[in-house]
Structure 1
Amino acid sequence: MKVLVVEDEQAIADNIVYSLKLEGFAVQHCMLGNDALSLLKQQPFDLMILDVGLPDINGFEVCKLVRQFSELPIIFLTARDHEIDRVVGLEIGGDDYVTKPFSPRELVARVKVILKRVRPTQPASGEVNQAAILLCDDVKKQWLYYGQPLDLTRYEYGLLATLFSQPERVFSRDQLMAEVWPDACGSFDRAVDTHIKGLRAKLKKVAEHDLIKTHRGLGYSLVLPCS
């Protein structure tokens, strides 16, 4: 697994790099947001640890630019601990938010959790065969709806995988957050709603059936058509 660390304070970066390497990660470090963007376009990474307060470009802006071409998991580092910053970080595509000062061990633990959770488990084969309308190719990380591939973001993929794991079960927003956004608190309901809306739109391009049902005040469920 390869991690890109974008941090302009050398001492902090050295601690992060050292801790990650101790756990077997390959690590590359840069100090500027523009350098990070160049690296991401040149070589594959499994995750990026991104400081918000970079000297050349704000980390949130870096994340927005990255999301134009990659669904790479991103952990924000920041000296600020305001809820609005955490909300913004998650809504623009961040996976976690760590406030300085922090424990390098805890950061590494969060990296492991995210890398584990961004690879949703394939639904049981019996369910896939029974519900052939909606199929998952776990090797290609691709969902097929009536035989047509869906172009999903990582979050949409995770939401669909979670809902499909137990059709007709109502998942609360907090439960969906826990499955798809690791270490996020339940106050970020808007992130779930936004990605559910995007997922619904992509499903409806294939078929008019409303596959995802909203349960007001409760959450969401997936209801497969009979044919």
Structure 2
Amino acid sequence: MPAEQPTPAPRVLVVDDHRKIRDPLATYLRRHGFEVRTAADAAGLWQLLKQQAFDVAVLDVMLPDGDGFELCQQLHRRCNLPVILLTARDTTADRIRGLDLGADDYLTKPFEPRELVARLNSVLRRHQATQARLHAAPAAAPAVRRYRFAGWHFCASSASLSREGAESVQLSTAEGKLLQVFLAHPHRSLTRQRLVDLTAAHDSDISERAIDRQVSRLRRKLSHDGQTFELLRTLWGSGYLLAADVELE
């Protein structure tokens, strides 16, 4: 009878710009059975996520190159990574904001490392139970999303645009994702960074400049009979906006 394989240690990513907190905390967590990698800033966080997957992140709210609340939201949206926020600010507003943005738990500095271990184990149990329920549920047939806007029809599954009396227009995968984001947020300003977050995988290197290029290509494909009306409007200093009413077909 083959021997049972040992359960792999939970992989924890600790992100804190204070080395005197980050390094002792990593050592303590390793002694309690966790596999730990550390980063001092947001750039290091994204670099490590390109190299390997993690089970949970311990994230300081105040980083030199990024706001921990925004990073938490990005981690939740882009790679479904559970996050425990660390902060020196113990206010109800901060706790609510963090939880609303996807944080799974919240610890105020200074804290007992034993409490962090308990919270890590609790977050991991909840996340594993959620994932188990998702995998146990029968797979649903993918929904075919079709949109109608400004005389155009867009099929998300095939990334194709069509309108009466004209040949259909085929979008690239990136253009199709971008257009679907705009169609989900009509008449709303979307910053370039927000568009990156909503269209890119966590291991991609899509830049805000790349978003500008994709918007430019989308504009050309959405032009019709020399019309000058701009469906994708540039809002200087804030981003882009889809100026059209949208209906699901």
TM range, smaller chain: 0.5 to 0.7
- Greater than 6 Å deviation, 4+ residue runs: none
Identity of aligned residues (%): 45
Q: Deviations over 1:30-50 (max 9, x none)?
A: 100122022223310000000
CA change 1:18–1:87 in 2 (3 A) is: same
What number of residue pairs does the alignment pair up?
A: 134
Q: Describe the SS at the equivalent of 1:48.
A: strand
CA distance in 1: counterparts of 2:22 and 2:120, whole angstroms: 15
Match for residue 48 of structure 1? Answer: 57
Aligned position for 1:30 = 39
What are the equivalent positions in structure 2 for 1:2-41 lying under 5 Å apart?
Answer: 2-41=11-50
Equivalent residue runs for 1:122-201 within 5 Å: 138=132, 141=135, 143-144=137-138, 147-148=140-141
Query: 2: distance between equivalents of 1:42 and 1:140?
Result: 26
Distance 1:118 1:149, change over 3 A: farther
* Contiguous gaps of at least 5 residues in structure 2: 1-9, 144-249
SS of the equivalent of 2:63 reads coil
Aligned CA RMSD, in angstroms, stands at 2.2
Q: List gaps (5 residues or longer) in structure 1.
A: 123-137, 151-227
Does the Cα contact within 8 Å between 1:19 and 1:108 map onto a contact in 2?
A: no
Calculate the TM-score normalised by the size of structure 2: 0.50
Equivalent position amino acid for 1:66 in 2:
L
Shift of 1:120: 1.7
Contact 1:143 1:149 in 2 (8 A): no
Cα separation, 2, equivalents of 1:117 and 1:140: 12
Query: Counterpart of 1:104?
Result: 113
In structure 2, the CA distance between the partners of 1:84 and 1:141, relative to structure 1 (3 Å rule), is same
Q: 1:121 to 1:4 in 2, by over 3 A?
A: closer
Q: Tell me, in whole angstroms, the C-alpha distance in 2 between the residues paired with 1:87 and 1:65.
A: 17
Q: Secondary structure at the match of 2:64?
A: coil
